[in-house]
Structure 1
């Protein structure tokens, strides 16, 4: 059986594993019209570079500046932690509008825009909205990490967010942060077929509900990714695809999340415990996060949380603040018209360009509900993940990250199998869900996972099997087995949700310069192969 599955695994590798094909080499026209980005030392500066005689502008994190962004990221801008200047419209020789600059972290794959709105900005609103996407027609995977779950067969092209900050008439700094995936083919694109588009607007909302509980006001950032462009309407009333985005550990408590409607558990505590566990390599309670990486903020967090969110309000009164097209770093942009990036290398730390293959075997279990009743069968599903054999399904790493001695290592893999709980209207039947040996085989070739158990993520419960011996272990085998009192019928059986199976990766980034390590958690929707 093992040999057959291994053979199938290698056959699976023969599939087309490139969802986005490499574009042809481009012929770049000879038009030298690019404008170099003005470079300044943001670490030591007190003021932004502006022409003589213009009003001075303190840097975003300076004492005395109006900072409308999470406190946890205020002092997370050090070069030693991986930050590089990538865009900047501030200059000592000319005034520009809009006024912004952007930093990029090569170890975390984060790009953070700092936007300065001067006093008297006519954008009255209850909230601040922003979004980042791509334009030009080339189907890049750079926005692949915009969603909580990575689906390599459905790559988003943009992310739209609403932040819990108002536009101040006295002027203020705002921060917009996005996570990027590595797309090696960007090197063969140009301004003609691939650019960033950054949008900012003011937004009015009348009501906010989290996990079905009305809170009246938004206490965090809500976002959704899509295949289209910046679209605030996609956030209003969208219960299924929105996520809460948290930029700092304290931001989890600020959400004031109610208890789980299904399990009655303290959602906030579960997430906080999961973050603390993630810092030590044992992730639980969420699918996507960036943990650590800053000497000044040792628990810097970039979390995407699946929380039922319902936003209502008016989109007719929104005011557009900016919609800026930016040359893509790492592309053939030397002859682009306008500003070229200061950090002009391909972005992102890694990517999952294809879905990992998970093999699923089904056992039909004979059930007699009552004497003389019709014979019925229920399903027990076993899964196997050959993570030690299918090297093509490891994340593709950016050489711009590793060329200074930085290492990118998968330290843990979790296979997560959800099941749906069903209850009788007149009382819950007795039930027991356990993790057993693969296909009930008591054989050394089919060991139990290194660790296994149950885990709650959002309003879903998962059975998981895990391995942290990624370098040597050849597979993760286990069966999700359900046993119940069937005297009231199989209609109340806990059926496994195969479409909801996920594979979660914990990836450790150890910078070559000796700075703080980073833990990145990513969860991928696998391709299921039935055996």
Structure 2
């Protein structure tokens, strides 16, 4: 069946909007003294405790069937494999094609930088609709989906100039934490994200390439599942953005990728109404940070850029940084208003593929060529912060229980990279007047002493992945919601 561009009507009933800015109040009774709270930051807890580093036990690649996958050397070709007589398809990074993705990603596809082929249905022997190929970066834990649009646009869809880019889990059993990094700014280990949905600034373009990219969290339990019980589903559609403002400023034509944890922009109830909340601007490259100019002050943009290249994390709560390649896959907290038209233009819907790392020996259709489990690490349990009250000018004391942190490392990483420089610290803000965490005064350290209660965002952890082949080191930053123990 040929791929069609179809306008889908919404459901008749649209869920009512609950307009809320979700900030945690430190103290319901506190007054404007938030602005003058005094906080003492100490880098280490001072007791010599160390986190636990665990290499997951199972390092056997599960079996997979790949006979329906069309393997090709994407690095060395200028055109994708197609049937004889069919129009040529330039590779996604070619000068000869329309590139509907962040320009900073254009030349980031090399095997030496960690990319492995997972799926490809471009073929010189079969003509397949919804042509895609998928790469996975084993140094960063990033899954990247390339899709090529061959269908012409028409005047009826001229205004549909934004792409809804969505990845979700299909599971017959317990859900996984694999999408928690992609969906959540601060990772709640008691919640498992089943989908991640972005609105991206790309129009319908015939013969245009699109990229869908998400970072995977390591899940050591997926190796016990198979294709019948667990798969990943991609759903792409074009939308008409009727209204968009960021941090109370009109977004204009900025290259902004916008998401909100748990929200599906493909759900009819999310369209036709104005959604107002703190959302995440998903930045994918260093150059992409410039798109936030005018949304945030120059000093904030400068800080975000500086923290890519130095040893501190600044206000970054969730990022994967490759400074030598100009890559800064990061989520930036921002107040936003967005309204999409009721209708969307369907593109690729519910394309279900098995995830690497499962037992894919009985799969029907495409099986992953690269079948190692995805993701670099996850934590064994939520970290613990001890909160005590003492006498004196700084009575509120918060101390990280460093030994409560257990890093669960994907065992396959040690075959091609060294994981090192583990760092962990409390991150907090003072008061309920902070509009967003990007502009907030962020307090950080393994121990914080404050003159009044402060809002604990979580425990920010970071580590370095250093490839053994000499390619660019990667720094991964994640913030996890912590368990606060009062004593």
TM superposition score category, shorter chain reference: 0.7 to 0.9
User: Post-superposition, which runs of at least 4 consecutive aligned residues in structure 1 deviate over 6 A?
Assistant: none
Cα shift at 1:209: 0.4
Residue matched to 1:371:
none
Aligned to 1:180: 216
Partner residue in 2 for 1:164: 201
1:59-208 alignment runs, 5 A limit: 59-121=91-153, 124=158, 125-137=160-172, 138-146=174-182, 147-168=184-205, 170-208=206-244
Q: Are residue 480 (structure 1) and residue 480 (structure 2) matched?
A: no
Aligned partner of 1:462 in structure 2 is 442
Alignment of 1:186-335 (within 5 A): 186-217=222-253, 219-226=255-262, 231=267, 233-234=269-270, 237-240=274-277, 242-259=279-296, 266=297, 268-292=298-322, 298-335=325-362
Q: d(CA) in 1 for partners of 2:257 and 2:83?
A: 35
Q: Whole-Å Cα distance in 2 between the matches of residues 33 and 73 of structure 1?
A: 30
The verdict on how the C-alpha distance between 1:399 and 1:528 changes in structure 2, with shifts beyond 3 A counting, is same
Cα root mean square deviation, aligned = 2.9
SS in structure 2 opposite 1:91? coil
Deviation of 1:205 after TM superposition, in Å, equals 1.0
Q: Structure 1: which 5+ runs fail to align? A: 14-21, 23-27, 260-265, 367-378, 424-455, 466-475, 483-494
**For 2:83 and 2:383, how far apart are their aligned partners in 1?**
53
TM-score by length of 1: 0.74
Does the CA-based 8 Å contact 1:149-1:524 persist in structure 2? yes
- Evaluate the alpha carbon distance shift between residue 506 and residue 283 of structure 1 in structure 2; reply closer, same or farther with a 3 A threshold: same
Q: RCO (CA 8 Å, sep 6+): is it higher in 1 or 2?
A: 2
Matched-pair contact (CA < 8 Å) for 2:241–2:339: yes
Secondary structure at the counterpart of residue 402 of structure 1? helix
Q: Which has the larger radius of gyration?
A: 1
Alignment pair present for 1:354 and 2:324? no
Return the TM-score normalized by structure 2: 0.80
SS of the aligned residue for 2:261 comes to strand
CA contact (8 A) 2:385 2:399 kept: yes
Given that residues 388 and 397 in structure 2 are in contact (C-alpha distance below 8 angstroms), is that contact kept between their aligned partners in structure 1?
yes
Q: What is the distance in 2 between the residues matched to 1:422 and 1:351?
A: 32
Q: Secondary structure at the match of 1:306?
A: strand
Aligned ranges for residues 355-504 of structure 1 at < 5 Å?
A: 355-363=382-390, 380-387=395-402, 389-390=403-404, 393-404=405-416, 406-420=417-431, 457-465=437-445, 476-482=446-452, 495-497=453-455, 500-504=456-460
Decide whether the 8 Å contact of 1:34 with 1:335 is kept in 2.
Answer: no
Inter-partner Cα distance in structure 1 for 2:262 and 2:238: 20
Contact residue 211 and residue 257 of structure 1 kept, 8 A: no
Superposed displacement of residue 154, structure 1: 1.1
5+ unaligned residues in a row in structure 2: which ranges? 1-44, 58-62
Q: Deviations over 1:54-79 (max 9, x none)?
A: 11100000121111111100000000
